[in-house]
Amino acid sequence: MMLGLGQIGGRLYRGEVSVNFVGRQRLWYTISGFILVISIVAVIVRGLSFSVDFKGGAVFTFPSSSATLSQVQAAVENGGVSGAIIQQTHGQQSGWQVQTKALTGAETIKLEQTLSTDLGVNSNNITVTTVGPSWGSQISGKAIEALIAFLIVIVLYLSIAFEWKMAVSAFIALLHDLVIATGIYALAGFQVSPATVIGLLTILGYSLYDTVVVFDKVRENTAGLLSGARSTYSDAANLALNQTLVRSINTSIIALLPVSAILIVATSLLAANNELEELALVLFVGMLSGTYSSIFIATPVLCDLKEREPRYQALAKRVSVRATGGRAAQRAAAKASSRSGGPAGPSGSGDPAAAGLPPAQLAEDVQDDADYAEADETVSSADELTATASRASGAPASRAQARPGPRQQPRRSGGGTARHRPQKPTGKKKRR
């Protein structure tokens, strides 16, 4: 299997096999747009579940293997608290975690006593963690500042290292990953904590790393592209994407394996909403989204931006002309079709003016025909001069290329064409 994957990677790198990612950008844009709409609607309708670190509140944690969910809910309501989030914890000892809004000192003591009395739990085993609203707002502000600073630095770096259009494409891919990850958290009801923000910044860096690798190969493939007419910018970028495809897939799989292991261990063995689970969860979601965006979003967006430049539009036109055999071949085919009576245009004639072409296109076609004719005349003149020089000098070039053997007789041309014979030398004839 690994040998087959390596062979596929080699064929993709050499261009023997190619997946047209750039040519199907409308399909990828449609899929991403559908996912983005669902994510935005989920954030607006359901909202995000922030931990106490962001919104402030109190968390009561206590061990109890005999209590049920309904009993814990009844004890919390008896303590005068409503709207609490109750979750069962698993680990070395089963227990419960009660997350409430911000409470006063008296309300905290009352709820702790009620839990101890109603559930039969020793008050010394109840752990209370309190976070003030001001601390939560500070954490939220710092997280937003860190995200904005990260995006600004990334755009500046890519603009300097590559170009601003690559920076814009990478920025769009990053926003794509950010919105999708946020929408998944809103749909699934996952809790957003400071560990989630740290993981989010990490996966944005991972997505950017994969995008930069692809862009570096795109820059290598498009160097000197304008000097010829072999491929368009989109073709060269698509080749770069195929050349780095296997590498991107292998990197993503290798990165997802340990993250998946951490997520499984944290979910099954540790308490609910632990920091390890929150970090692994956002890493898993973000790596999948980052791999998708680096392949299906970043490079197609870059090609759309570059193909709008006049120089690359002219390149695409030259490539198209070269692929169809040149304008001279097109005009010759039109004239041949006109002579044979076939419809070469809307009016049935081979004349480009009769075909309804604009004057600028007609002038360009005439100039191209002149260039092709001039090039043909130049080649014909050069061939004629070469043949004349060869005859005047006794055709040494043909002798050099002829195989050794008996002397060959000169070819006589038929018709009334006079042959050129060398003049007899004057003076005495030397005897051999």
Q: Measure the CA angle with vertex 258, ends 181 and 217; round to 5°.
A: 70
| Span 14-21, average pLDDT | 73
In the chain, where are the structural domains located?
9-16+26-50+135-313, 57-131
| Span 319-346, average pLDDT | 63
pLDDT for 172 equals 92
Q: Which of 11-15, 123-127, 348-352 has the lowest mean pLDDT?
A: 348-352
pLDDT for 116 equals 86
- Written in H, E and C, the secondary structure of 28-97 is HHHHHHHHHHHHHHHHHHCCCEECHHHHCEEEEEEECCCCCHHHHHHHHHHCCCCCCEEEEECCCCCEEE
- Which residue's structure tokens are 């498009």? 222
Contact 49, 190 (CB under 8 A): yes
Helix (H) or strand (E) holding 209, with range, is helix 194-221
Helix spans in 294-395 (H): 299-306, 310-323, 327-339, 359-392
| Span 373-387, average pLDDT | 44
pLDDT for 341 equals 54
pLDDT surpasses 80 at 401? no
The token pair that represents 276 in the structure block: 């390890």
Residues 6+ apart with CB under 8 A from 28: 21, 296, 297, 300
Q: How far is 174 from 214, CA to CA, in rounded Å?
A: 15
The token pair that represents 380 in the structure block: 């014909």
Give the tens place of pLDDT for each residue, 175-218: 998 899 888 888 888 888 877 888 888 888 888 888 888 999 99
Q: What percent of the chain has pLDDT over 90?
A: 10
pLDDT for 273 equals 63
**244, 139, 153, 263: which is closest to 204 by C-alpha?**
153
Backbone angles phi, psi at 388, to 5 degrees: -65, -45
Given 3-state DSSP classes, what are the helix, strand and coil percentages for the chain, each rounded to the nearest 5? 65, 5, 25
The token pair that represents 59 in the structure block: 């968390």
Contact 237, 221 (CB under 8 A): yes
Q: How far is 248 from 173, CA to CA, in rounded Å?
A: 15
Q: Which residue has the higher pLDDT, 74 or 364?
A: 74
pLDDT for 223 equals 87
Give the tens place of pLDDT for each residue, 46-78: 888 887 777 778 888 888 877 888 888 888 888
Q: Does domain 9-16+26-50+135-313 have CATH number 1.20.1640.10?
A: yes
Average pLDDT, the chain: 75
Q: Please state which of the four CATH numbers 3.40.50.2000, 3.20.20.150, 3.40.1710.10, 3.30.70.3220 is assigned to the domain occupying 57-131.
A: 3.30.70.3220
